[in-house]
Amino acid sequence: MTFPHRHLLGIEALRPEEITVLLDLADTYAALNRQPDKHADALAGLTQINMFFENSTRTQASFEIAGKRLGADVMNMAMQASSVKKGETLIDTALTLNAMHPDLLVVRHPHSGAVDLLAQKVNCAVLNAGDGRHEHPTQALLDALTIRRAKGRLHRLSVAICGDIAHSRVARSNIMLLGKMENRIRLIGPPTLMPAGISEFGVEVFEDMKEGLQDVDVVMMLRLQKERMDGGFIPSEREYYHRYGLDEEKLAFAKPDAIVMHPGPMNRGVEIDGTLADDINRSVIQDQVEMGVAVRMAAMDLLARNLRLTRTEAV
Amino acid sequence: MSRIAFLNARLVDPERAQVTTGGLLVEEGRIRALMPAGEPAPGDAQVIDCGLKYIAPGIVDIGVKVCEPGERHKESYRSAGLAAAAGGVTTMITRPDTTPAIDSPETLEFVTRRANEASPVRVLPMAALTKGRDGREMTEIGFLMDAGAVAFTDCDRVVSDTRVFSRALTYARSLGALVIAHPQDPGLSRGASATSGKFASLRGLPAVSVMAERMGLDRDIALVEMTGARYHADQITCARALPPLERARNNGLDISAGTSIHHLTLNALDVADYRTFFKLKPPLRDEQDRLAIAGAVNSGLIDVISSMHTPQDEESKRLPFEEAASGAVALETLLPAAMRLHHAGLIDLPVLWRAMSLNPARRMGLESGRLAKNAPADLVLFDPDAPFLMDRATLRSKSRNTPFDGARMQGRVLGTWVAGTQVFKRDR
């Protein structure tokens, strides 16, 4: 078995060669997705439930399309509007769903570790679509695939991750993945948006953006998570844009062929200049969205293979 | 009343800081004499051959939460008392953070009556320092003392208004009352469920710096200096808080400090994959802090080790880490966990009993905590080496939220006596 996991809860549990296996498969799905007939049947007969305890349009749509293209029966549950509001606990919800025999459960939750907890209580494969500030593995994998396709490799690159690191699960998963694949990671942001103990992560930390962007191959911008702020992490949006917003001037410090990434949705004029984001010569933001579907197809395919295998063994 | 002779024992004497071989003669609920090894028992005495196991003063545990009134399904005086007896705890100093809070003489009397009816071990209640533990108005400290309150505390709630706190301290001083506080800066620690550092960042948990504890302690020390009150810090858990504590002590302030057995035996990494039984308040610290705190217990800078017994039912723990309730039960695991410190060579037995028995008894003005003539015969007989696998299903507490579930432990209580009456005997 090349991908020996029951769930995809985070990058932390993956080995470098397993990441490569997943990305290789995702490449084939990226090719499929560009065909007029985009259908495959890897998930035929399986039920996929998307449970989003936190608002999401893009990630949920991406998982839904990925599931449908592979032939799964996909159901979306908007958990914010449902029984959670009536006081049902996460575990009760999980057990209720479990009784409906889903095969793939895609979960996003506002609390770190909530998806791990849920995974302990169900019989199906669980994919973490983002838990609190903890992990967002499919985002890191789609970023990795985008980088690999743009740069031709996923090692020995200098990658800058800029912005609200402290509140970002995207940053955590990316730091872990890029570190495992032996890249040089530079974190850029104001100290109020850096998590504690960051110096022990095996990364370089910069408060000055120009210094941090010096000769990097990849510039990864993060969304300034306004909804997560208790207030008072930065003085104002305009000062933030001045010091940490990505524009042509700051990008000039990176390598001439450096690519610009953003997990979306973007705050144009807060963390990134609108024109730059749309520059098809530098920005790979649309490729990220495209690779998102491919990576999620690959992840669900691999987990479904394991699921079928364990079920055959059980019989 | 009959006489009991404990023979052939190793006596853990926290006062003289030694372990000697010998025996004890107990009469009318008190220790009548210490007997040298080999001395025969008086003819009429009931003889207990200890088989060279250890006898120590019963544990005096400051800060036990019994969930009466309000949440008896989590812990009652009966279940807590049985757990205490099985854990070698002979005196529980109970917390007032119940629902409602124990903040009036009437509630305190209810609690005392329930405790006397139901608990096989001694129970001494603490009362809230402010009404409803809301940090606004002080309680009737005088009446509450008359009703039997041994100390005043708002438990894990910090009285953040320094004017309210300073007045309460001043008033308490005039009555000689002991105030127990939770040193923590409420602003810095708001919303936190872990100690800030690499681990909390990796797990994406909202975290607080250990500096919040230091700041809380600094503030309290200044107010104690201003008011002259008798003060005890419930849990000192980080190295950063030790220098100010030492300075305050050297300046002659009436300040004592405790720590919890969990902060002495576990660290932040034990949370692992969001194990909520390890969610405590304050959160577990890193290994350097744990070792520094063990050192401070050894040096005597930290006076008291407590269980900080906090029952939580399954529903309040089976939640995502941030939402889960804090606290762990520990009455029954306090002694075996303390033996980890003994076996690791970090803290020896007499010092452990100084912190678990002698010092808390002294601070509360009790006669217990000593192996001496005329001291109360509150005793624990234990085997520090007996190995066992901790199974939380065997706990006597109604709530079984122990972080030691499944852990290999060494050290078991064999028997417990309160005022010369056996309240626990381990079946083989």
Question: pLDDT digits over A249-291, tens only?
Answer: 999 999 999 999 999 899 898 899 999 999 999 999 999 999 9
B209 min Cα distance to partner chain A (Å): 9
CB contact under 8 A, B320 and A91: no
Q: Which are the contacts of B279, defined by CB distance < 8 A and separation ≥ 6?
A: B193, B271, B317, B321, B324, B325, B326, B327
Residues of A in contact with B203 (CB under 8 A): 112-113, 134
- Average pLDDT of every residue of chain A: 93
For the beta carbon of residue A189, count every other beta carbon within 10 angstroms.
Answer: 29
Between the alpha carbon of residue B245 and those of residues A173, A226, A299, B273, the distances in Å are: 41, 40, 54, 34
Closest chain B residue to A116, measured at CA: B273
Q: What is the pLDDT of residue A237?
A: 85
Residues of A in contact with B288 (CB under 8 A): none
Q: What is the pLDDT of residue A84?
A: 59
Residues of B in contact with A166 (CB under 8 A): 201
Q: Is B81 helix (H, G, I), strand (E, B) or coil?
A: helix
pLDDT, tens only, A41-77:
999 999 999 999 988 899 999 999 999 999 999 999 8
Query: Phi/psi of residue B53, each to 5°?
Result: -80, 180
* Rounded mean pLDDT, A173-183: 98
Q: Helix A58-69 vs helix A285-314: angle between axes, to the nearest 10 degrees?
A: 50
- Which of A15, A39, A58, A156 is catalytic? The answer is A58
CA–CA separation, B368 vs B362, rounded Å? 8
Residue A302 · residue A130 · CB < 8 Å: no
A133 min Cα distance to partner chain B (Å): 4
Of A11, A26, A56, residue with least CA distance to A301: A26
CB contact under 8 A, B198 and A114: no
Q: Is A89 on the interface with B (CB under 8 A)?
A: yes
Catalytic residue list contains A184: no
* Angle (CA) B17 B22 B26, round 5°: 95
Q: What is the helix (H) or strand (E) element at residue B249, kind and residue range?
A: helix B242-250
Q: Is B271 on the interface with A (CB under 8 A)?
A: no
Query: Phi/psi of residue B426, each to 5°?
Result: -80, 125
Q: What is the pLDDT of residue B411?
A: 97
Q: What is the pLDDT of residue A87?
A: 64
What parts of chain B have a pLDDT lower than 70?
Answer: 1, 428
Q: Is B209 on the interface with A (CB under 8 A)?
A: yes
Beta strand extents in A150-265 (DSSP E only)? 158-162, 184-188, 204-206, 218-221, 259-261
Q: Is A45 on the interface with B (CB under 8 A)?
A: no
Closest chain B residue to A229, measured at CA: B206
Residue B273 · residue B227 · CB < 8 Å: no
Burial of A261 (0-12, 13-18, 19+ CB in 10 A): buried
Best probe of the A interface among B190, B199, B202, by most A CBs < 10 A, is: B202
A132 min Cα distance to partner chain B (Å): 7
CB contact under 8 A, B318 and A112: no
A181 min Cα distance to partner chain B (Å): 18
Size of interface A-B (CB pairs under 8 A): 71
Catalytic residue list contains A108: yes
Q: What is the pLDDT of residue A91?
A: 87
Residue B90 · residue B378 · CB < 8 Å: yes
CA–CA separation, B110 vs B118, rounded Å? 12
CB contact under 8 A, B320 and A195: no
Closest chain B residue to A115, measured at CA: B320
Closest chain B residue to A136, measured at CA: B204
B202 min Cα distance to partner chain A (Å): 7
CA–CA separation, B88 vs B417, rounded Å? 8
CB contact under 8 A, B203 and A112: yes
- Which of A7, A59, A146, A282 is catalytic? The answer is A59
Tell the residue number behind the tokens 């990925």, with chain if given: A66
CB contact under 8 A, A169 and B197: no
A111 min Cα distance to partner chain B (Å): 6
Tell which wins on pLDDT, A83 or A307. Answer: A307
Catalytic residue list contains A226: no
pLDDT, tens only, A195-237:
999 888 899 999 999 999 999 999 999 998 776 555 688 888 8
Residues of A in contact with B318 (CB under 8 A): 89, 91, 117
Q: What is the pLDDT of residue B301?
A: 98
Q: What is the pLDDT of residue A310?
A: 87
Residues of B in contact with A116 (CB under 8 A): 273-274
CB contact under 8 A, B321 and A133: no
pLDDT, tens only, B347-401:
999 999 999 999 999 999 999 999 999 999 999 999 999 999 999 999 999 999 9
Q: Which of A114, A172, A196 sits opposite B197 (nearest CB)?
A: A196
Catalytic residue list contains A58: yes
Residue B143 · residue B103 · CB < 8 Å: no
Q: Is B44 on the interface with A (CB under 8 A)?
A: no
pLDDT-based confidence at residue A85 (cuts at 50, 70, 90): low
CB contact under 8 A, A117 and B202: no
A10 min Cα distance to partner chain B (Å): 11
ipTM over 0.95: no
Residues of A in contact with B204 (CB under 8 A): 112-113, 131-135, 169, 172
Q: What is the pLDDT of residue A231?
A: 63
Residue B222 · residue B248 · CB < 8 Å: no
Residue A1: pLDDT over 60: no
| pTM for the model | 0.93
Closest chain A residue to B210, measured at CA: A196
Torsion of CA A154, A155, A160, A165, to 10 degrees: 80
* Angle (CA) A115 A117 A120, round 5°: 110
Q: What is the pLDDT of residue A229?
A: 53
- Which of A109, A134, A136, A148 is catalytic? The answer is A136
Identity of the residue numbered B77: Y
Catalytic residue list contains A109: no
CB contact under 8 A, A200 and B323: no
Q: What is the pLDDT of residue A312?
A: 81
CA–CA separation, A59 vs A102, rounded Å? 20
Q: Is B302 helix (H, G, I), strand (E, B) or coil?
A: coil
Alpha helices in A181-262 (DSSP H): 209-213, 237-244, 248-251
Residues 287-346 of B with CB under 8 A from A: 315, 318-323
* Angle (CA) A236 A239 A244, round 5°: 115
CB contact under 8 A, A134 and B315: no
CB contact under 8 A, A133 and B204: yes
CB contact under 8 A, B204 and A230: no
* Rounded mean pLDDT, A23-46: 96
Residue B188 · residue B215 · CB < 8 Å: yes
Residue A82: pLDDT over 70: no
